Amino acid sequence: KRIEILFSNPSEMNYIDIKFLAAVLRNVTLNCNKSLKTVVVDQLIEDITTGLEYNDYQSLRKRLSEVIYFVELINLKVIPRTYLIPMLYKIVCYGHENNYPSRDTYCEADGFDDFFRIKMISEILSRVYAQHVLHQLSPFIKFMRFFNYYIFTKEHPLSIDVSNKLADMFRHLKD
């Protein structure tokens, strides 16, 4: 139980150390203890979803740690890369009417002036290995179009930190 708690709390670490936590989980679950991997991944996906639901300002660091951990686990093939695109859509669409963000409909969990989901997506796409994107190129291109639309639904101009995050993400994807 303690090991599950240890591997299920990436927010207890610095952002740069989360990749090491992911590597240790991969090594521990490589040949045995598949149940630990299942419990940790299920808890991580549940925590990301819960964070989208409540959108608590005080938990932003925790939420960012969770998506960093998620992408590091994908990079290390602990989580199948087929989970990437659905998670990206979930982050963008969760809580919106008909699961579709719109400029015409206000979403309490993701207001027009709330850019945190853009930061989450940017963080994921800035860290994901290119092979995972190239493996799903057509769905990825569709998502990027949808993500551009999502950015359009937000209040403009975007803040400088969000603009820089997006520029870094596009630079990473281009390379």
Per-residue confidence in pLDDT tens, the chain, 175 aa: 889 999 999 999 999 999 999 999 999 998 877 899 999 999 999 999 999 998 888 999 999 999 999 999 999 999 999 999 999 999 999 999 999 999 999 999 999 999 999 999 999 999 999 888 888 999 999 999 999 999 999 999 999 999 999 999 999 998 8
Q: What is the pLDDT of residue 1?
A: 80
What separation in angstroms does the CA of 47 have from each of 18, 65, 105, 129? 16, 11, 26, 23
Sign for the CA dihedral angle at 47, 73, 60, 105 comes to negative
Please give the structure tokens belonging to residue 128. 């994901």
Q: What is the pLDDT of residue 33?
A: 73
Overall pTM surpassing 0.85 (yes/no): yes
